Structure 1
Amino acid sequence: MVFSKWVFLIVILHLFETIPSTVSSSSLKAKELADISVNCLKHAKTPEFMDWMVGIRRKIHENPELGYEEFETSKLIRGELDKMGIPYKHPFAGTGVIGYVGTGRPPFVGLRADMDALPVQELVEWEHKSKVPGKMHACGHDGHVAMLLGSAKILQEYRDNLQGTVALLFQPAEEGGGGARKMIEDGALENIVAIFSLHVSTELPVGSVASRPGLIRAGSGFFEAVISGKGGHAAMPHHTIDPILAASDVVVSLQHLVSRETDPLDSQVVSVAKFKGGSAFNVIPDAVTIGGTFRALSNERFMQLEQRIEEVITKGAEVHRCSAKVDFLEDKKSFYPVTVNNEELHEHFRNVAGDMIGVEKVKVMKPTMGAEDFAFFAEVIPGCNYFLGMKDETKGPLASNHNPNFILNEDSLPYGAALHATLTIRYLLQFQQPKYLLEDGKVRDEL
Structure 2
Amino acid sequence: MTSSSQHFHFLIYSIITLHLLSTFSFSAVTHLPPEVGRQLLKDARSPAFYRWMIDIRRKLHEYPELGFEEYNTSELIRDELDKLGVEYTWPVAETGVVATIGSGEQPFFALRADMDALPIQEEVDWDHRSKIDGKMHACGHDAHVTMLLGAAKLLQARRQELKGTVKLVFQPGEEGFSGAYHMLQHTALENIEAAFALHVMPLYPVGAVASRPGPVLAVSGLFNATIKGVGGHAAAPHLSKDPILAASMVVVALQHIVSRQTDPVLEPTVVTVGQISGGHADNVIPESAKIGGTYRSLSNEGLNDIKARIKRVVETQAEAQQCTAEIDFKEEIPMPYPVTENDEGMYQHTKEVAEILLGEPNVQLSPIVMGSEDFSFFTQRMPAAIFWIGTRNETHVPENLHSPNFVIDEEAFPIGAAFHAAVAISYLDSHSDVANARDEL
TM-score, normalised relative to structure 2? 0.90
Q: Secondary structure at the match of 2:79?
A: helix
Paired position in structure 1 for 2:99: 99
- Conserved in 2, the CA contact under 8 Å of 1:24 and 1:431? yes
Separation of aligned partners in 1, 2:94 and 2:274? 30
Separation of aligned partners in 2, 1:167 and 1:29? 20
Q: Secondary structure at the match of 1:294?
A: strand
Corresponding letter in the other structure for 1:408 = I
Separation of aligned partners in 2, 1:24 and 1:235? 72
Paired position in structure 2 for 1:49: 49
Separation of aligned partners in 2, 1:173 and 1:87? 23
Task: Describe how 1:22-33 pairs up with structure 2 within 5 A.
Answer: 33=33
What's the offset of the Cα at 1:161? 1.0
What's the offset of the Cα at 1:291? 1.4
- Are 1:283 and 2:287 matched, yes or no? no
Paired position in structure 1 for 2:431: 431
Q: 1:272 to 1:97 in 2, by over 3 A?
A: same
- Conserved in 2, the CA contact under 8 Å of 1:34 and 1:352? no
- Conserved in 2, the CA contact under 8 Å of 1:176 and 1:333? no
Paired position in structure 1 for 2:366: 365
Q: 1:332 to 1:164 in 2, by over 3 A?
A: closer
My pick for the range that moved more, 310-319 or 193-202, is 310-319
Q: 5+ unaligned residues in a row in structure 2: which ranges?
A: 1-23
My pick for the range that moved more, 340-349 or 298-307, is 298-307
What's the offset of the Cα at 1:199? 0.5
Q: Secondary structure at the match of 2:132?
A: coil
Q: Secondary structure at the match of 2:190?
A: coil
Q: 1:370 to 1:24 in 2, by over 3 A?
A: closer
Corresponding letter in the other structure for 1:372 = E
Q: What is the aligned-residue identity percentage? A: 50
- Are 1:296 and 2:297 matched, yes or no? yes
Aligned residues: 417
Paired position in structure 2 for 1:131: 131
What's the offset of the Cα at 1:279? 3.1
Separation of aligned partners in 2, 1:365 and 1:41? 23
Q: CA RMSD in A?
A: 2.2
Separation of aligned partners in 2, 1:162 and 1:347? 21
Paired position in structure 2 for 1:155: 155
Paired position in structure 1 for 2:241: 241
- Conserved in 2, the CA contact under 8 Å of 1:107 and 1:433? no
My pick for the range that moved more, 212-221 or 78-87, is 78-87
Q: Secondary structure at the match of 2:33?
A: helix
Separation of aligned partners in 2, 1:117 and 1:264? 32
Q: 1:67 to 1:24 in 2, by over 3 A?
A: closer
Q: Secondary structure at the match of 1:192?
A: coil
Corresponding letter in the other structure for 1:282 = N
Paired position in structure 2 for 1:143: 143
- Conserved in 1, the CA contact under 8 Å of 2:27 and 2:345? no
Paired position in structure 1 for 2:5: none
State the Cα deviation string for residues 180-215 of structure 1 (Å, max 9, x = none).
Answer: 111011234212100000110111000000101010
Paired position in structure 2 for 1:328: 329
What's the offset of the Cα at 1:126? 2.1
My pick for the range that moved more, 297-306 or 325-334, is 325-334
- Conserved in 2, the CA contact under 8 Å of 1:215 and 1:367? yes
Separation of aligned partners in 2, 1:336 and 1:188? 22
- Are 1:314 and 2:315 matched, yes or no? yes
- Conserved in 2, the CA contact under 8 Å of 1:24 and 1:429? no
Paired position in structure 2 for 1:194: 194
- Are 1:231 and 2:226 matched, yes or no? no
What's the offset of the Cα at 1:407? 1.5
- Conserved in 1, the CA contact under 8 Å of 2:112 and 2:171? yes
Paired position in structure 1 for 2:17: none
Separation of aligned partners in 2, 1:235 and 1:90? 58
State the Cα deviation string for residues 32-89 of structure 1 (Å, max 9, x = none).
Answer: 6222222211221111111111111111112211111111211111111111111111
- Are 1:114 and 2:114 matched, yes or no? yes
My pick for the range that moved more, 248-257 or 339-348, is 248-257
- Conserved in 1, the CA contact under 8 Å of 2:30 and 2:427? no
Paired position in structure 1 for 2:36: 36
- Conserved in 2, the CA contact under 8 Å of 1:198 and 1:387? yes
Q: Secondary structure at the match of 1:173?
A: coil
What's the offset of the Cα at 1:237? 2.8
TM-score, normalised relative to structure 1? 0.88
Q: Secondary structure at the match of 1:128?
A: coil
Separation of aligned partners in 2, 1:251 and 1:27? 50
Separation of aligned partners in 1, 2:246 and 2:30? 67
Corresponding letter in the other structure for 1:304 = D
- Conserved in 2, the CA contact under 8 Å of 1:111 and 1:196? yes
Separation of aligned partners in 2, 1:73 and 1:94? 12
